């Protein structure tokens, strides 16, 4: 902002007049005019929730078995053994430990209803033509380091994780997963489980979780990196309709483009 024309603000008040530089008033009017769309953008639930998460919540990270290598502060995971080559079925039977990773599902608000969301980004594929990926959902954080209750000390599959639900919904896709493909799981307010690929729903299991489970569970998404997808990272995109996100970005671009115009008007 420009300075006062005659003295400081206390002196102007004592003299009984408030005379400001006209250019200062023009800048303030332009700021209010451009701030209208920005305030409208920030008032949206999706944008406000994103800002809240970025400022206050901890970044989600993976927990994994010892057969998985974690990098980038726990936000990227890759299978230790032959991540670029398919594992032979005999190797799968003889492997001492399955390459499993777990990611906490974030609670999100959708039209006033709490849902649970987690997203993975494919980083590495090995060319396995049998199965792309195997996912599961656990109502609590699994202890992947201790193994099943039987006392073996390691897990050989998702089925051994206590209370883990895997294999549903069963999905088939017309195209293989590639690097950058986004795979997400969403537990809706009615307890249904949805799987999404690049924002599109590819499978739904209706009413999989009860209302009691939705209130008391700390859901985690479990991923088995034994198959085609051998490396993943934590996705940061929130759930929502792509049209809403695109409209919000358009509002933001308009706000940024208006700033030079406001400065040029203020100089005139």
Task: Indicate whether this model's pTM tops 0.95.
Answer: no
pLDDT value for 78: 96
Q: List Cα–Cα distances, 204 to 59, 116, 177, 192, 267, in angstroms.
A: 27, 14, 19, 7, 58
pLDDT value for 225: 94
Domains contained in the chain, CATH given: 1-43 (no CATH), 59-237 (2.60.120.920)
pLDDT value for 142: 93
With CA atoms as reference, report the closest residue to 158 among 118, 212, 206, 99: 99
DSSP-derived letter for residue 163 is T
pLDDT value for 1: 36
pLDDT value for 42: 54
List the pLDDT tens digit at each of the 268 positions of the chain.
Answer: 333 333 334 444 444 444 555 566 666 566 556 555 555 555 555 556 666 665 556 778 999 999 999 999 999 999 998 899 888 665 665 667 899 999 999 988 877 788 999 999 999 999 888 888 999 999 999 999 888 887 778 898 888 999 999 988 888 777 789 999 999 999 999 999 999 998 888 999 999 999 999 999 999 999 999 999 999 999 988 776 444 445 555 566 666 676 666 555 555 5
pLDDT value for 31: 57
DSSP-derived letter for residue 88 is P
């Amino acid at each position: 902002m420009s300075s006062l024309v005659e003295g400081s603000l206390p002196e102007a008040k004592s003299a009984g007049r408030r005379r400001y530089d006209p250019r200062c008033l023009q800048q303030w009017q332009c700021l209010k005019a451009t701030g209208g769309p920005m305030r409208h953008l920030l008032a949206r639930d999706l944008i406000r929730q994103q800002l809240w998460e970025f400022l206050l919540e901890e970044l989600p990270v993976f927990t994994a078995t010892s057969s998985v290598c974690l990098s980038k502060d726990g936000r990227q995971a890759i299978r230790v053994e032959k991540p670029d080559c398919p594992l032979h079925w005999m190797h799968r039977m003889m492997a001492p430990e399955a390459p499993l990773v777990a990611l906490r599902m974030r609670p999100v608000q959708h039209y006033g209803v709490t849902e649970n969301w987690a997203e993975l980004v494919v980083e590495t594929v090995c060319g396995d033509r049998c199965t792309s990926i195997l996912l599961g959902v656990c109502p609590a954080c699994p202890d992947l380091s201790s193994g099943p209750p039987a006392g073996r000390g390691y897990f050989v599959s998702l089925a051994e994780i206590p209370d883990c639900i895997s294999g549903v919904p069963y999905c088939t896709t017309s195209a293989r997963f590639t690097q950058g493909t986004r795979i997400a799981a969403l537990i809706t307010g009615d307890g249904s489980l949805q799987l999404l690929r690049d924002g599109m729903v590819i499978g739904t299991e209706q009413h999989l979780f009860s209302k009691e489970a939705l209130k008391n569970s700390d859901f985690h998404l479990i991923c088995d990196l034994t198959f085609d997808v051998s490396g993943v990272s934590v996705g940061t995109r929130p759930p929502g309709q792509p049209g809403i996100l695109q409209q919000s970005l358009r509002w933001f671009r308009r706000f940024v483009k208006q700033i030079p115009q406001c400065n040029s008007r203020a100089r005139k």
